[in-house]
Amino acid sequence: MVTHACNLSYLGGGDDSGDDDEETASPTDKSELHQTLKELSGRLAELSTCSDLISKHGAALQRSLNELDSLKIPWESGEKLKAVNERATLFRITSNAMINACRDFLELAETHSRKWQRALQYEQEQRVHLEETIEQLAKQHNSLERAFRGAPGRLASPSQTFSQGSLLTAKGEDSEEDEDTEYFDAMEDSTSFITVITEASEDRKAEGGTVTSSVEWTSADNEREGASIVPKDSSKVKRRTSIPNKPSYSLNLWSIMKNCIGRELSRIPMPVNFNEPLSMLQRLTEDLEYHHLLDKAVHCTSSVEQMCLVAAFSVSSYSTTVHRIAKPFNPMLGETFELDRFQDMGLRSLCEQVSHHPPSAAHYVTSKHGWSLWQEITVASKFRGKYLSIMPLGAIHLEFQGSGNHYVWRKSTSTVHNIIVGKLWIDQSGDIEIVNHKTKDRCQLKFVPYSYFSKEVARKVTGVVSDSQGKAQYVLSGSWDEQMECAKIVHSSPSSDGKQKTVYQTLPTRLLWKKFPLPENAENMYYFSELALTLNEHEDGVAPTDSRLRPDQRLMERGRWDEANTEKQRLEEKQRVSRRRRMETCAASCSGEDERETDRYVPLWFEKRLDPLTGEMACVYKGGYWEAKEKQDWHMCPDIF
C-alpha cells in the first residue's frame, strides 16, 4: 500500500515538467495525459482492492477481539483489548478516507484535463498573436525611420502622419466617438451578458426622454457621516476601537484526533483555538455594518433603484468574511445578542438561538428610518475532505414601511478551502435572487467562484435588475469584498458573436457601496471590522443570556485560551444536562411520541409561524424584549451560563 502511494506521488510530481518550446499540445502530450490518467485509475483500483482487504481483515480482527473480550480474562487485559479494538476501527476509517481522497483526485484530474488544455491553447495563441503584432510594429518603425532619413529637414506629409496615427490608435478618426466607451466581456461559465458603457447624453436621447434619479449616488455616500460606529459627538456613547492581540498558539491536529478514539465524533469538544471571540449571533448582526444603504433606499421613489441598493446591501454582508477564517462560537440554546444602537446607527437588533440541532438563529431588526429586517438562518455544512461547504438555509425579509416594498432573498454558499493542508481561504459562490413581492421587481446576482485559470477579477459579483415586466433596468458589477456599482440600461440586444449572451448598452457606472477600510492592527485582532470590535464590548442592562456575558468567549478574547477551553467544556456539558432534563420532563407527559419530538424547546422572544411568502415555517419576533430591558425584568430568562 505504501508503494502505491509513492507511485501516485511520483506521477503527480511529473505534472510540472513539459516542453516550453512547443507551440501547441502535440498528440504525444495528449496520449501521455490519457496514459497518466489510466495509470492513476489502475492505482486507484489497486487501492480500492487494498481497502476491501483491510475492511475484510479488519472486521475479522474485530470479531476475534470481541470473542476474546467475551472470555473471562483479567480486567487489565480487557481494557487493552478494548483499546486495540478502537485503534483497529480508527485505522479502517482512515484507510477509507484515503481511498475517497484518491478517488476525488482522479475525478478532479479527469474533469479539468480538457480545461487545462484549452487554457494552454489560449495562452499559446495569445503568444503567437503578440509576436506577430510586435513584428508588424518593428517593420513599420523601420519604414518610418527610412522615410525620415530619406527626407532630412522636412516635415512628414499628411499621408505619413495619418499612417502613424492609425498605427497608434488602430482606429483613426472613427475612434473619437468611442473614446469613452468601455467593453466588459466575461467567460462562458460566468456572466450571461456583456455591458457597453456609452455617453450619457446620447443614451438619454435614445430613450426618448430624460432619465431621472430619485436618489443621487456619489462616492461620498459611502462615508460614515451620520452613522458612525464610533461617533465623534461627545454626547454619544464611546465605543472601543481595539481588543487584545490574538495569542500565537500552535495547535497539533493529531492531539485532537487521537482523543476521538472510542468516542462519538459529534460529542468531541473543539478547542477555542479554532474560534474567534464572537458568537454566531454576533456574526449575524455584522450583516448590519452597511445599514446606511437601507437608510438611503428608504428615500428612493423608483423601486428598481431601491432594488439596486438592497442588492448592494445583500452583497456587503460578505465583505467581512474574506480574511475571517476562524469560526465563531456556536451559541448556546437560548443565547441572545442585542444591538441597541438607536443613537449611533438608528436601529435595534435582536438575535436568539432557537435550535441547537440543527443550529438555527432568529434575527429581527427595526430602524427609525422606516425599514425592518428579519430572518431565521439554519446552517448546514458538508465536509468534502479538501474543503468545507457552509450553506445558510432560510429566507431574509426586508420591508420598507413607507412604500410597502417587501424584499426576500437567501444567502449564497460559503466554501472554506485547504482544510487539511495549506493556507485557509474562503470563497463565495452561487446565485441569489432578490424579489420585491409588492412590485414583482427581481434582481439576479451571481457570485462567480474562484478559478485558477479564470481571467476574471477574484471574488466577482454580477447582476441584473429587472422590473415587473421582466425588462432589464440596471446592471450590477463588483466584488463581494470591495465594492458594487450599478449602471442604467438604455438598450439591449443579442450578442453578435454567436454566444447566447445579451449586450446591454448602459450609462456610466455609479458607486453603490464600497467596503470600509479595516482598523489599524486588524491582522492581530482576528481581522475584525470597526463594528465587530464593539460587538463583544461589555454593556450594562443586557439580558443575562447575552453573548457578551458568555464566560469562555470573554476569556478567549482576553487571551486566556486554556481557561476558555475549560469553561467551554463546562458550558457544553451544562447544556447537555438541560436537554436531558427537558426530554425527561416532556417524555413523562408526552408518552408514546417519537423521541425526537420530546425535546420541545420553546424560544423566549421568537415564535414559529408560517411564512406566507415562502410557505415555510420560520421563527419571527413576538415582542417583549425591549420592554423587559426597560424594566430590567429578566426573570423569564434561562440560566445558560
* Model pLDDT for residues 192-225, shown as the tens digit of each residue: 566 665 554 444 443 433 344 445 554 444 544 4
Percent of the chain with pLDDT over 90: 44
Average pLDDT (537-544) is: 95
pLDDT of residue 197: 59
| Amino acid letter, residue 560 | R
pLDDT band at 265 (very low <50, low <70, confident <90, very high): very low
Cα gap 231→338, rounded to integer Å: 19
Higher pLDDT, 413 or 80: 413
pLDDT band at 236 (very low <50, low <70, confident <90, very high): low
In terms of phi and psi (left: phi > 0; alpha: psi -120 to 50; beta: otherwise), the region of 325 is: alpha
- The answer for residues whose C-beta is within 8 angstroms of residue 332's C-beta and 6 or more apart is 353, 356, 545, 550, 571, 575, 640, 641
Dihedral sign from CA coordinates of 413, 512, 536, 603: negative
Question: Which of 536, 552, 553, 522 has its CA nearest to residue 320?
Answer: 522
Kindly report which listed range (87-96, 296-305, 603-612) carries the lowest average pLDDT score.
87-96
Dihedral sign from CA coordinates of 524, 286, 434, 197: negative
pLDDT of residue 140: 73
Helix axes 75-150, 158-169, angle to 10 degrees: 180
pLDDT band at 97 (very low <50, low <70, confident <90, very high): confident
Using DSSP, state whether 80 is helix, strand or coil: helix
Average pLDDT (411-417) is: 90
Cα gap 199→181, rounded to integer Å: 7
Cβ count within 10 A of residue 354: 25
* pLDDT tens digits, 334-382: 999 999 999 889 999 999 999 988 899 999 999 999 999 999 999 888 7
pLDDT band at 9 (very low <50, low <70, confident <90, very high): very low
pLDDT band at 281 (very low <50, low <70, confident <90, very high): very high
Average pLDDT (394-402) is: 96
* Residue 117 confidence (pLDDT) above 70: yes
Cα gap 296→309, rounded to integer Å: 8
Average pLDDT (32-61) is: 74
* Residue 409 confidence (pLDDT) above 70: yes
pLDDT of residue 150: 66
pLDDT of residue 394: 94
Average pLDDT (157-162) is: 34
| Amino acid letter, residue 636 | M
Question: Which of 37, 39, 35, 43 has its CA nearest to residue 4?
Answer: 43
Which residues does residue 388 pair with via DSSP β-bridges, in sequence order? Answer: 383, 416
Quote the distance between the C-alpha of residue 102 and its chain's center. Answer: 27
Cα gap 121→127, rounded to integer Å: 10
Dihedral sign from CA coordinates of 60, 66, 69, 70: negative
Cα gap 166→234, rounded to integer Å: 63
Cβ count within 10 A of residue 273: 15
pTM for the model: 0.66
Cα gap 45→56, rounded to integer Å: 16
Cα gap 575→570, rounded to integer Å: 9
Q: Where are the beta strands (DSSP E) in 437-592?
A: 442-447, 460-466, 472-479, 483-494, 502-506, 510-514
Cα gap 315→303, rounded to integer Å: 18
Average pLDDT (463-492) is: 94
Cα gap 271→253, rounded to integer Å: 11
